[in-house]
Amino acid sequence: MNIEYSEERFREGQVLLINKPLEWTSFDIVNKIRLSLKRYLGIKKIKVGHAGTLDPLATGLVIVCTGRATKQIDQFLGMDKQYIADVRLGATTPSFDLETEVDKTFPFEHITQEAIHNTIDSFRGEIEQVPPMFSALKVKGRKLYELARQGKEVELKARKITISELNLLEWEGQNLKLDVSCSKGTYIRSLARDLGYELESGGHLTGLIRTRIGPYQLSESLSIVDFEKNLATFATK
């Protein structure tokens, strides 16, 4: 990733590849970059936006656009994405991940490697997926996670998504590690839930790393700490 740390270039528009840390929101990244530009370059007002939300309990690649490059955000939103996902079988949570506590447990000793591979095979291609209640999707102007935290239930319709690649990397006891490439709109938390169900057990997500967005790789990204350090170094020259 080639970044020019000047006010002119940030205003003209730059595409930043940032490695989001655990428990940060995508908006936290945007706000940190905006504040850093103000602090080190004196830019009081500039457009900064991210090209796709990544859950707080996930880490990995977030694309951030500045200045005129924010006009490209829709282009990035439509790109396919790749993840490394950790799934725990034998239990479910209301959020389908570790944001909420386990609500039900299920047997998992009957699950074989053959069953796992057969189930994974059935999820490749175009499928229908019901999104999680704990998500930023809106119903009548209200975000679903706000309704979920109030204990309200909404009947959600399945949406068509495409999983182009789904491969088992590791399997140990209740724990699976998966490599997933998928279309816009795919919820890996829902995939974890659905895999558990199809294996006649339960399942929830315990870890998630976004490794790619379209042609953009996590290996090309900067940590938010390094971005700020580089900006500070430029400002003192």
Q: How far is it, in rounded angstroms, from Cα 203 to Cα 196?
A: 4
Q: How far is it, in rounded angstroms, from Cα 140 to Cα 23?
A: 28
* Unique residue bearing structure tokens 């209301």: 94
Which tokens is 23 given?
A: 């428990």
Cβ-based neighbours of 125, under 8 Å, separated by 6 or more: 162, 163
* Strand pairing report for 175-182 and 81-89: antiparallel
Q: How far is it, in rounded angstroms, from Cα 90 to Cα 106?
A: 5
CA 33 to chain centre: 19
- Is the separation of the CB atoms in 159 and 185 below 8 Å? yes
Residue 179 among the catalytic residues:
no
From the candidates 28, 55, 121, 194, give the one annotated as an active-site residue.
55
- Is the separation of the CB atoms in 199 and 118 below 8 Å? no
Q: How far apart are the two ends of the chain, measured CA to CA in Å?
A: 21
* Active site residue ranges: 55
